[in-house]
């Protein structure tokens, strides 16, 4: 395609120099065919801006629409934008002035190389444009006037070297001939080449000189190039005819070649030139000076006029100029001179570190980026030559996720080699090292900072496998009982969490409307009062869901444990406290100490220590006769019954739980002290007597008749006794220690009466 494109290009069409563009692309390089076969074109220098160079789209087999769609760019190493690509048509046109002599000097070939970069996928084509020379420079002599002193004794055929003109053009556009104007009979000009790139111009004496006839000769020396039309340059030659000094200086060499390292300091001697003169005296004294050449090479050198030593006036730069050509003129005291050429070759030293030029770089990368993805495309170059310019490139701190691979010539690709995980590494600092092969080697590093963007690949995680929270029963509505907390290893919206209750999955696990969760902070609330006696714990599922797409979630079990409050008073089961039945126990007069009268049974609907019950004798007709087991509730005799004891005993027993504050209940029971019933066991639970067999009934009737008689006989004494006891109570006699009673009960005991809740009427029935 390159050859075909050259055939289609008209002469004089423009070209673009290489341009450096930073392209941010992420696809793989392709087009291996384009890498091996660059597109080659040619264009003349000084072509007008906007001139057509070629249609790159046609030659590359691309539709013009692809250039825009794939963001086509031109890139070059020096970054100059000399050519411009029209994406709409695929035309390559001149973007700025092209001067071959400025770009390539007098090199025989001048090629501008650059890459055409395409995106999606990333491709590039090598394009080389040869810049052809036009005749845009005229020959130029270093001096407008040259004075020669020639002895009159010079023989015809003698040659007198002249400093030739310089033409910056090359090939046929360079100097092709010299001539003299006006033509004279004494001199002619000779022009030729002694060696490659070494041309000479001599003034040739055609006939003997006679100073006495003509002391001076003047004419113009014209240099003409081979351009079309040709260009010319002129200098004036003034020949002074001298007497006698008939030997001109003669250099020992026509060409002196010296080599100097580019880091040689100023003042160092490069080489020495030497000329001899066969004349003696002043005519044999030789002085040296530089001929005024076109160009500034001599500005870096100085010559000693007496010794011929050439020294440096400043350090040389191999990358700026690899050689310097000098002309040295030796002149004797009689005015005769000779010219020699001096070629100073600059030897490269490793004084330029490699350069890294990034063409494309993609960051951030998604953590789900596939292995093999191109992250960066860059080139390396070194201005040094040979081993000093040979570069090796490597990735420091070999990252398991990235690698470096050659792409094309001095281009490299930075690619992924494994899957990425932002939660493991959110940022990669990749350092590329470019090292040349000089001694010592020079190194350049370039750092690529690759950020990894997040995808929602991590579900939330609760900080506990389950939660247990406590709430006391009878709580206030909307009470805060605890907080659930989850975290998400992702970031941004992928880590923004929302909490919610999971609906019940079955009828056996109904949803609890009394529990609520704050969707933002995970606070758990109980919305209504709870009753421990009805529900002791509630299990719910709380879901934490992130805001990713799609969202990820996790569930956790939250158990709400209801803590008991002491809100239930003890309930007495035995003896029964129905108002229709009085509770009374029969105690034989023969009962000894420890005799079990009855047992108080009570329960508490609370739990724990709130349900621990203790029994206390709150009040008794005869406190010294009975005792109550604090834990068992058993009512026993503390001592044997005597005839002095009151037959009808009344006891008030306090049943108290262990809550804070404690709650209590009282039970009132009566005990009858009866004779002749030492072997009788009276049921503890009721005054109602069950039917017994006929024999027992008979004995009971007899016993009751006997008791009735005794009762009638002793009623007077009994009444008198009661009156006495009431009088004693009024006088301050206490039946039970006040220190063992509550303040209200103790106060009541002091005055001999009980509050109404503790007063009961006891009747004995048959």
Read off the pLDDT of residues 409-448 as tens digits, 9 standing for 90 and up: 889 999 998 888 888 888 989 899 999 988 889 999 999 9
What are the structural domain ranges in the chain?
Answer: 2-132, 145-347, 355-453, 461-563, 571-688+734-758
pLDDT of 559 above 90: yes
pLDDT of 134 above 60: yes
Residue 398's pLDDT band, with cuts at 50, 70 and 90, is low
Q: Does domain 2-132 have CATH number 1.10.10.60?
A: no
pLDDT of 362 above 70: yes
Q: What average pLDDT score do residues 478-505 get?
A: 91
pLDDT of the residue at 280: 76
Read off the pLDDT of residues 494-553 as tens digits, 9 standing for 90 and up: 999 999 999 877 655 555 688 999 999 999 999 999 988 888 899 999 999 999 889 999
pLDDT of the residue at 718: 61
Q: Does domain 145-347 have CATH number 2.60.40.60?
A: yes
Backbone angles phi, psi at 717, to 5 degrees: -60, -35
pLDDT of 18 above 80: no
Residue 16 DSSP class: -
DSSP structure string for 312-380: ESS---TTT-SEEEEEEEEE-TTS-EEEEEEEEEEEP-S----EEEEEEE--SEETTPPTT-EEEEEEE
pLDDT of 690 above 50: no
pLDDT of the residue at 750: 36
In whole angstroms, give the CA distance from residue 567 to residue 661: 10
3-state secondary structure of 751: helix
pLDDT of the residue at 705: 75
pLDDT of the residue at 113: 86
Proportion of the chain above pLDDT 70, given as a percent: 82
pLDDT of 98 above 90: no
pLDDT of the residue at 685: 39
Averaged pLDDT score across all residues of the chain? 81
Which CATH homologous superfamily contains domain 355-453? Cadherins (2.60.40.60)
In whole angstroms, give the CA distance from residue 148 to residue 291: 13
In whole angstroms, give the CA distance from residue 739 to residue 26: 94
pLDDT top residue among 710 and 673: 673
Fold agreement (2-132, 461-563): yes
Exposure letters 355-378 (e unless 16+ CB within 10 A, then b): ebbbbbbbbebebebeeebbbbbb
Q: What average pLDDT score do residues 712-716 get?
A: 73
Q: Which CATH architecture has domain 571-688+734-758?
A: Sandwich (2.60)
pLDDT of the residue at 758: 37
pLDDT top residue among 725 and 266: 266
Residue 227 DSSP class: -
pLDDT of the residue at 212: 75
In whole angstroms, give the CA distance from residue 473 to residue 529: 7
| CA angle (24, 27, 33) in 5-degree steps | 110
pLDDT of 8 above 70: no
Beta bridge partners of 257: 343
pLDDT of 358 above 60: yes
pLDDT of 19 above 60: no
In whole angstroms, give the CA distance from residue 586 to residue 597: 8
pLDDT of 744 above 50: no
Residue 720's pLDDT band, with cuts at 50, 70 and 90, is low
pLDDT of the residue at 112: 86
In whole angstroms, give the CA distance from residue 497 to residue 487: 8
pLDDT of the residue at 330: 93
Residue 600's pLDDT band, with cuts at 50, 70 and 90, is very high
Q: If you search the block for the tokens 């249609």, which residue do you land on?
A: 55
Strand locations in 569-663, DSSP E? 571-574, 584-588, 596-599, 601-603, 614-620, 626-628, 634-637, 648-656
pLDDT of the residue at 419: 87
pLDDT of 260 above 80: yes
Q: What average pLDDT score do residues 367-382 get?
A: 90
Beta bridge partners of 381: 355
Q: What average pLDDT score do residues 281-296 get?
A: 76
- Give whole-number Cα distances, 562 to 15, 537, 565, in Å: 89, 5, 9
Helices (H), 37-173: 56-60, 64-69, 100-104
pLDDT of 488 above 60: yes
DSSP structure string for 461-526: EESSSEEEEEEETTPPTTEEEEE--EE-SS-GGGG-EEEEEPPPSSTTS---TTEEE-TTT-EEEE
Residue 399's pLDDT band, with cuts at 50, 70 and 90, is low
Query: What is the C-alpha end-to-end distance of the chain, expressed in Å?
Result: 136
Locate 37 and state its tokens. Answer: 């076969």
pLDDT top residue among 510 and 478: 478
Residue 120's pLDDT band, with cuts at 50, 70 and 90, is confident
Read off the pLDDT of residues 601-641 as tens digits, 9 standing for 90 and up: 999 888 888 889 999 999 998 888 999 999 999 999 999 98
Proportion of the chain above pLDDT 90, given as a percent: 33
CB 232 within 8 A of CB 220: no
In whole angstroms, give the CA distance from residue 619 to residue 625: 12
pTM of the model: 0.52
CB 415 within 8 A of CB 453: no
Residue 234's pLDDT band, with cuts at 50, 70 and 90, is very high
Highest mean pLDDT among 71-85, 184-198, 652-666: 652-666
Point out the least confidently predicted range of 62-76, 299-313, 699-713, 752-766: 752-766
pLDDT of 294 above 50: no
CATH number of 461-563: 2.60.40.60
Q: What number of other Cβ atoms are within 10 A of residue 118's Cβ? A: 26
Residue 334's pLDDT band, with cuts at 50, 70 and 90, is confident
pLDDT top residue among 33 and 107: 107
pLDDT top residue among 66 and 708: 66
In whole angstroms, give the CA distance from residue 189 to residue 221: 8
pLDDT of the residue at 224: 94
3-state secondary structure of 649: strand
Backbone angles phi, psi at 304, to 5 degrees: -75, 120
pLDDT of 278 above 70: yes
Q: Which residues contact 294 (CB under 8 A, 6 or more apart)?
A: 140, 141, 142, 165, 166
């Amino acid at each position: 395609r390159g050859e075909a494109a050259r055939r289609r290009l008209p002469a004089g069409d423009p070209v673009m120099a290489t341009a450096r563009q930073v392209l941010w692309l992420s696809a793989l390089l392709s087009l291996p065919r384009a890498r091996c076969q660059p597109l080659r074109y040619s264009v003349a220098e000084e072509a007008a801006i906007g001139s057509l160079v070629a249609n790159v789209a046609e030659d590359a087999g691309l539709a013009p629409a692809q250039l825009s769609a794939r963001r086509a760019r031109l890139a070059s190493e020096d970054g100059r934008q000399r050519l411009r690509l029209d994406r709409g048509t695929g035309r390559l046109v001149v973007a700025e002035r092209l001067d071959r002599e400025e770009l390539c000097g007098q090199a025989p070939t001048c090629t501008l190389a650059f890459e055409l970069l395409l995106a999606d996928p990333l491709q590039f084509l090598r394009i080389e444009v040869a810049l052809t020379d036009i005749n845009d420079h005229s020959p130029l002599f270093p001096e407008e006037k040259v004075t020669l002193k020639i002895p009159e004794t010079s023989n015809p055929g003698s040659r007198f070297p002249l400093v030739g003109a310089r033409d910056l053009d090359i090939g046929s556009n360079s100097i092709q001939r010299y001539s003299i104007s006006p033509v004279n009979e004494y001199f002619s000009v000779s022009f030729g080449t002694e060696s490659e790139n070494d041309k000479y111009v001599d003034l040739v004496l055609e006939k003997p000189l006679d100073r006495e006839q003509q002391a001076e000769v003047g004419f113009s020396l014209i240099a003409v190039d081979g351009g079309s039309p040709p260009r010319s340059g002129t200098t004036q030659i003034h020949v002074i005819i001298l007497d006698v000094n008939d030997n001109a200086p003669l250099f020992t060499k026509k060409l002196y070649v010296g080599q100097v390292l580019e880091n040689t300091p100023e003042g160092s001697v490069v080489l020495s030139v030497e000329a001899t003169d066969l004349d003696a005296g002043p005519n044999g004294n030789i002085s040296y000076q530089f001929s005024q050449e076109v160009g500034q090479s001599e500005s870096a050198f100085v010559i000693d006029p007496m010794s011929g030593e050439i020294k440096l006036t400043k350090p040389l730069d191999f990358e700026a100029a690899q050689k310097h050509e000098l002309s040295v003129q030796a002149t004797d005291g009689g005015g005769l001179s000779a010219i020699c050429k001096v070629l100073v070759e600059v030897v490269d030293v490793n004084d330029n570190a490699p350069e890294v030029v990034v063409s494309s770089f993609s960051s951030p990368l998604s953590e789900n980026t596939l292995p093999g993805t191109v992250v960066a495309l860059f080139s390396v170059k070194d201005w040094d030559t040979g081993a000093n310019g040979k570069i090796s490139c490597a990735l420091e701190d070999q990252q398991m996720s990235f690698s470096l691979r050659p792409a094309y010539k001095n281009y490299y690709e930075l690619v992924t080699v494994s899957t990425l995980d932002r939660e493991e590494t959110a940022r990669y600092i990749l350092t590329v090292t470019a090292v040349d092969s000089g001694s010592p080697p020079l190194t350049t590093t370039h750092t690529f900072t690759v950020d990894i963007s997040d995808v929602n690949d991590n579900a939330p995680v609760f900080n506990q496998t389950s939660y247990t929270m406590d709430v006391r029963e009878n709580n206030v509505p909307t009470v805060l009982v605890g907080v659930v907390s989850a975290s998400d290893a992702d970031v941004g919206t992928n880590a923004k969490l929302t909490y919610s209750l999971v609906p019940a999955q079955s009828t056996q696990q109904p949803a609890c409307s009394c529990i609520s969760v704050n969707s933002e902070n995970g606070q758990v609330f109980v919305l209504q009062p709870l009753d421990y006696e009805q529900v002791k714990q509630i299990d719910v599922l709380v879901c934490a869901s992130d805001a990713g797409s799609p969202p990820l979630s996790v569930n956790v079990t939250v158990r709400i444990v209801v803590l008991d409050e002491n809100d239930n008073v003890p309930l007495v089961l035995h003896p029964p406290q129905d108002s229709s039945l009085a509770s009374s126990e029969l105690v034989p007069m023969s009962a000894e100490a420890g005799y079990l009268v009855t047992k108080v049974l009570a329960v508490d609907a609370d739990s724990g220590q709130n349900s621990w019950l203790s029994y206390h004798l709150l009040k008794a007709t005869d406190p010294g006769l009975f005792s109550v087991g604090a834990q068992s509730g058993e009512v026993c005799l503390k001592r044997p019954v005597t005839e002095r004891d009151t037959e009808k005993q009344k006891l008030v027993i306090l049943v108290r739980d262990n809550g804070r504050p404690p709650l209590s209940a009282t039970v009132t029971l009566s005990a009858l002290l009866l004779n002749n019933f030492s072997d009788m066991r009276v049921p503890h639970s009721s005054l109602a007597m069950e039917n017994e067999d006929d024999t027992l009934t008979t004995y009971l009737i007899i016993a009751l008749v006997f008791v009735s008689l005794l009762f009638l006989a002793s009623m007077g004494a009994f009444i008198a006794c009661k009156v006495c006891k009431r009088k004693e109570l009024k006088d301050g006699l206490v039946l039970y220690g006040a220190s063992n009673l509550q303040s209200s009960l103790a106060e009541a005991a002091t005055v001999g009466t009980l509050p109404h809740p503790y007063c009961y009427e006891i009747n004995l029935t048959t």
